[in-house]
Amino acid sequence: MCSLRYGQGVRWMLLGLKRVTILGITVDRYSMQETAEQIRRAVETRVPIRVVTANPEMIYVSGRDQRLKQLINSAEVVTADGIGVVWAARQLGSPVHERVTGVDLVQALFPIAHAGKWRFFFLGGKPGVAQQAANQVCSDYPEIVCKAWHGYFNSEEEPQVLEQIRRFQPDILLVGLGAPRQEYWIAEHPGLASVSIGVGGSFDALAGTVIRAPKRIRKLQLEWLYRLCKEPWRWKRQAVLPRFVLKVLGQRFLGKTS
Ligand code: UDP
């Protein structure tokens, strides 16, 4: 059983159960706008929250990793990252509004952040990439204050990274260390920012070092296929998808959640 997420008790009663449980992972059914609103509220109230952008791979892996499952289910916000999660929610009779991926969510936050003069710390990616992403964001939204650090630090360098983040006092900490490492890292370092979000490879997209699928392809829900063609090494990761589908069908027709 998952723990109750911060402030959601009242919201559940007001909005109904806007969540769906997929293979034991509870995913929010909020739209992009509603998710951004939750984050805005957390920044304003300064009560720290964790945001997980859950893709099918992460949900599947959490079936074998109880700690990861607990970490995801205790996060305040868990979004449906990927068409596989959107499909699963529909199969289970609780459709989600839309796909809320890390990079789309972050981009939806920038105009709000610009108005509120928020501070963003970008942590992750190959050396130089987070800085390039931060420079791009700060040039598009000059009121946002950004700082960046790469994601290839070792345990001896970690205290220095933590010190940089603490000194900067970010409103939003974007952690792009790859899943599930970023989810563990965020949970192990609470209170660094009002909102900590695991964003996977978003800095590569923001910096332009990885080109996202054109909008047309994204609308057709085929971004995963585009990525697979561009980054064929991903097939190993995506090989989990058929098993995810079978498990979701097992949950739908046999009530099996593991
Ligand atoms: N990454 C990192 N440190 C590491 C390993 C990976 O910062 O030790 C970064 C990597 O450079 C890339 C991101 O993590 O930017 C990849 O994350 P993931 O594969 O989860 O993201 P996805 O591409 O699925 O969004």
- CA dist 255 and 251 (Å) reads 4
pLDDT band at 3 (very low <50, low <70, confident <90, very high): very low
Asked if the model's pLDDT at residue 6 lies above 80, the reply is no
Span from the CA of 46 to the centroid of ligand 1 (angstroms): 28
Q: State the Cα–Cα distance between residues 74 and 137, nearest whole angstrom.
A: 30
Phi, psi angle pair for 47, to nearest 5°: -100, 115
Which has more pLDDT, 193 or 211?
193
Residue 158 has pLDDT above 70, yes or no: yes
Please, are residues 171 and 146 in contact by the beta-carbon 8 Å criterion?
no
Ligand 1, residues at Cβ distance < 6 Å: 124-126, 151-152, 176-179, 200-201, 203-204
Q: Is 173 helix (H, G, I), strand (E, B) or coil?
A: strand
Length of the chain, please?
258
What's the pTM? 0.91
pLDDT over 50 (residue 10): no
Q: Which residues lie across from 20 on neighbouring strands?
A: 27
Distance CA 27, CA 24 (A): 10
Distance CA 74, CA 116 (A): 28
What's the one-letter identity of residue 83?
Answer: I
58 CA → ligand 1 middle, Å:
14
pLDDT score recorded for residue 238: 81
Mean pLDDT of the chain: 92
Residue extents of the structural domains in the chain: 20-254
Burial class (CB in 10 A: 0-12, 13-18, 19+), 14: exposed
For position 5, what pLDDT does the model report?
56
User: pLDDT grade, residue 220 (50/70/90)?
Assistant: confident
pLDDT at residue number 221: 86
Q: Kindly state the average pLDDT of the residues 69-83.
A: 97
Q: Where are the alpha helices (DSSP H) in 97-239?
A: 102-116, 129-140, 158-168, 181-188, 202-207, 215-219, 223-230, 235-238
**Three-class DSSP category at 18:** coil
Q: Nearest CA to 200 among 174, 224, 219? A: 174
Q: Are 214 and 200 in contact (CB under 8 A)?
A: no
177, 183, 185: residue to mutate for ligand 1 pocket, most atoms within 8 A of CB: 177
pLDDT of 174 > 50? The answer is yes
DSSP labels, 190-228: TTSSSEEEE-TTHHHHHHTSSPPPPHHHHHTT-HHHHHH
Q: Which of the four pLDDT bands, split at 50, 70 and 90, describes residue 178?
A: very high
Report how far residue 150's alpha carbon sits from residue 232's, in angstroms, rounded to the nearest whole number. Answer: 24
pLDDT at residue 256, rounded to an integer = 82
Give the tens place of pLDDT for each residue, 106-116.
Answer: 999 999 999 99
Six-digit token string for 201: 């490879």
CA of 33 to the centre of ligand 1 (A): 26
User: Which DSSP category does 214 fall into?
Assistant: P
Does 226 have pLDDT greater than 80? yes
